[in-house]
Structure 1
Amino acid sequence: MIVRFLCFISLFILVSFLIGCATIEKPELKKIDEKPKISKTIQNEKNNLNLKRGLKRKVAIARFTNETKYGQSFFIDGNNDRIGKQAVDILSSKLVETDKFILIERADLDKINKELRMENYEPLKNMADFLIVGSVSEFGRKDQGEVGIFSRTKRQIAFAKVYVRLIDVRSGQILYSEEGDGEAFSEAGTVFGVGERAGYDSSLNDKALEAAITNLASNIIENLLDRPWRSYILGYEDGSLIIAGGKLQNIEIGDFFKVIKEGKKVKNPQTNMMITLPGKEVGTIKAIMMIGETPESEVTLCEIVEGNLQEYISTNNFSGLFIQEKI
């Protein structure tokens, strides 16, 4: 009797030990240490609250398509790209969180214009400074398992790879291109048939895609912030120049701006592209008043501090000029 009891106790301890040895990891994102998750510029501003916020660039995500076989079938048409739309939403969220850009809607622009037509408004026309174009080039799942004498484990893995391009709208030039990848997994296991059994975890798809975009979002933000902010002169009224942009672009009363005369355009025979030579500063203006409540309607009235712009004012032709922040 005592022998049976000791055998039972020994078997119980052995099973308990083997169950404890079965490592079951919770779903998590694969970490990539060499790529920062937070933009360096934004992190520096968080550390120094006295820094003035930079002027906002206007950005639009032109498209983000799923170029893989995953998530596509005969029952989904070309306009119902679920993975591509999800990628647009994730990247849009990352850009909006920075409070550094005016993000202009492109994916659902037709729905906005449909609402405008109900009240006989004109279709929305708001050009972005930069376009982001992207695609999901790899997306899929795989299962891995290990079988021991007493234990069995199963790991579900989802992986994604995305490519993005940053385009200057005025020149059509690709300014920056990069790829990012991400992975997510969940694991379950049993010992002597006791433990968790892994069902299909669809949330891993979302986590893998978010990880891939997060790993390159920081570099997208840095490249956008490296591009100079630019605006244009709309007219001259009652002694003040009227420039596009206002409070929503972080312009403040008292800010100074450079008036730049565009450089000459020449054609590069090697690339067959038109190149704009460096411009020349012809004046300095100061913001004195802002009008408007939306990015489309906002304007700023400025007084001329330095320079002679009379030749442009007399003809009311400012097409050869643009405005940049004076640092």
Structure 2
Amino acid sequence: MRRYFFILLFICIAGGIHAQREVIEVEPATTVSHSETSKALKRKVAIGRFSNETQYAKGLFYDKENDPMGKQALDILSSKLAASGKFILLERNDMDKLLAEAASSGNGFQKIGADYMIIGSITQFGRKNIGNVKLFSTTKTQMVEAAVSIRLVDVSTGLIIYSDEAKGEAEMKTKTTMGVGGRADFDATLSDKAISAAISQLVENIINKCTNKPWKAYFLSYDSDAIIVSGGASQGISVGDTFIVMSKGKNVKNPQTGINIELPGKAVGKVKVTAVGGDTPEAEYSIVTFIEGAIDATQLQNYFIEEIK
């Protein structure tokens, strides 16, 4: 009987040891190479003009070129777009001249040097004071209302791809009870807050419209020394990146609107970045080499490179 007991005990111990040595195999995590990850390439955006179309602050000596409210709105929009980290904002001192050329010619927009251009205006602005007098207390509310209009232009086609208007308001309340409490003159910062509130409603749509289409760049030079395309490090391009080479689609004219429409192009090859250079975002470039396909070096204007989605 004792022998059977020891045999049973040995079997239980052996079974326990076997259970403890059970190994669970885990598949190694798959790594994604740099070329397979999607990069957030920055678009170049120029804010062409932000004007004050209201009669507010337009006195006898009003200077249209130095409109403080227009510059105020431009600075607010620039700050919000820069904070998104998706754009390179270009300052163009000759923007009015370029806009005039764009209006008089079919390809004037191409000289702007950006992917998109924003034209904005303050269409409504007003301020008011609202008082509420009770038996023992008085409440005063300072309120500012502003409306901002935005147009987003695709520079490659000259077409307006987004247009909208938004309104914002800001207020400040002061209250006195039996003559005791806060008193305040008009708060000038309410203007900033009202304009900022209106622009904030439009920024997300601007970002979405600019990033919906694939990032693209154009061929600058193609010879025995190097193949050079526009765009560089500040836009997020780095050595080893690969891009699809596209041929431009056929241009057709819509008889109903009279607008030329570029049909979708087709992929004709693939290039790899071997070097980047340039001192400023406007002058940056990348040197590439073909790893698939080829193009006609005498017709560079008919091709462009596009990010791989």
Q: Residue 319 of structure 1 aligns to a residue in which SS? A: helix
Which amino acid in structure 1 is aligned with residue 64 of structure 2? G
CA distances 1:55-113 after superposition (whole Å, capped 9, x unpaired): 11111111111111112111212222111111011101111122211111136879xxx
Runs ≥4 in structure 1, deviation > 4 angstroms? 107-110
CA–CA distance in structure 1, aligned partners of residues 168 and 203 of structure 2: 12
Q: Does 1:173 align with 2:159?
A: yes
Larger Rg: 2
Which amino acid in structure 1 is aligned with residue 116 of structure 2? F
Which amino acid in structure 2 is aligned with residue 276 of structure 1? E
Q: 1:158 to 1:89 in 2, by over 3 A?
A: same
CA–CA distance in structure 2, aligned partners of residues 100 and 268 of structure 1: 33
CA–CA distance in structure 2, aligned partners of residues 53 and 279 of structure 1: 22
Q: Residue 161 of structure 1 aligns to a residue in which SS? A: strand
Corresponding residue number in structure 1 for 2:269:
283
CA–CA distance in structure 2, aligned partners of residues 227 and 64 of structure 1: 25
Corresponding residue number in structure 1 for 2:294:
308
Q: Which runs of 5+ in 2 are unaligned?
A: 1-36, 97-110
CA–CA distance in structure 2, aligned partners of residues 127 and 151 of structure 1: 59
Q: Is the 8 A contact 1:243 1:301 kept in 2?
A: yes
Corresponding residue number in structure 2 for 1:148:
134
Q: 1:251 to 1:73 in 2, by over 3 A?
A: same
Following superposition, the deviation at residue 139 of structure 1 comes to: 0.7
Task: State how many pairs are aligned.
Answer: 259
Q: Is the 8 A contact 1:239 1:303 kept in 2?
A: no
Q: Is the 8 A contact 2:113 2:282 kept in 1?
A: no
Corresponding residue number in structure 1 for 2:52:
66
Following superposition, the deviation at residue 146 of structure 1 comes to: 1.0
Corresponding residue number in structure 2 for 1:320:
302
Q: Residue 245 of structure 2 aligns to a residue in which SS? A: strand
CA–CA distance in structure 1, aligned partners of residues 136 and 207 of structure 2: 50
Deviating more after overlay: 198-207 vs 80-89: 198-207
Q: 1:222 to 1:299 in 2, by over 3 A?
A: same
CA distances 1:8-65 after superposition (whole Å, capped 9, x unpaired): xxxxxxxxxxxxxxxxxxxxxxxxxxxxxxxxxxxxxxxxxxx754111111111111
Following superposition, the deviation at residue 241 of structure 1 comes to: 2.1
CA–CA distance in structure 2, aligned partners of residues 280 and 225 of structure 1: 20
Q: Residue 191 of structure 2 aligns to a residue in which SS? A: helix
Q: Is the 8 A contact 2:50 2:121 kept in 1?
A: yes
Following superposition, the deviation at residue 188 of structure 1 comes to: 1.1
Corresponding residue number in structure 2 for 1:13:
none
Corresponding residue number in structure 1 for 2:101:
none
Following superposition, the deviation at residue 131 of structure 1 comes to: 0.8
Q: Which runs of 5+ in 1 are unaligned?
A: 1-50, 111-124
Following superposition, the deviation at residue 143 of structure 1 comes to: 1.0
Which amino acid in structure 2 is aligned with residue 255 of structure 1? D
Q: Is the 8 A contact 2:246 2:305 kept in 1?
A: yes
Corresponding residue number in structure 2 for 1:295:
281
If the length of structure 2 is used for normalisation, what is the TM-score?
Answer: 0.79
Which amino acid in structure 2 is aligned with residue 61 of structure 1? I
Q: Is the 8 A contact 1:139 1:159 kept in 2?
A: yes
Following superposition, the deviation at residue 212 of structure 1 comes to: 1.3
Q: Does 1:262 align with 2:248?
A: yes
Q: Residue 54 of structure 1 aligns to a residue in which SS? A: coil
Q: Is the 8 A contact 1:240 1:304 kept in 2?
A: no
Following superposition, the deviation at residue 197 of structure 1 comes to: 2.0
- Between the two structures, name the one with larger relative contact order (CA 8 Å, sep ≥ 6): 1
Corresponding residue number in structure 2 for 1:234:
220
Which amino acid in structure 1 is aligned with residue 305 of structure 2? I
Q: 1:296 to 1:193 in 2, by over 3 A?
A: closer
Which amino acid in structure 1 is aligned with residue 255 of structure 2? P
Corresponding residue number in structure 1 for 2:148:
162
CA–CA distance in structure 2, aligned partners of residues 108 and 193 of structure 1: 56
Q: Is the 8 A contact 1:263 1:276 kept in 2?
A: yes
Question: Percent identity between the aligned chains?
Answer: 48
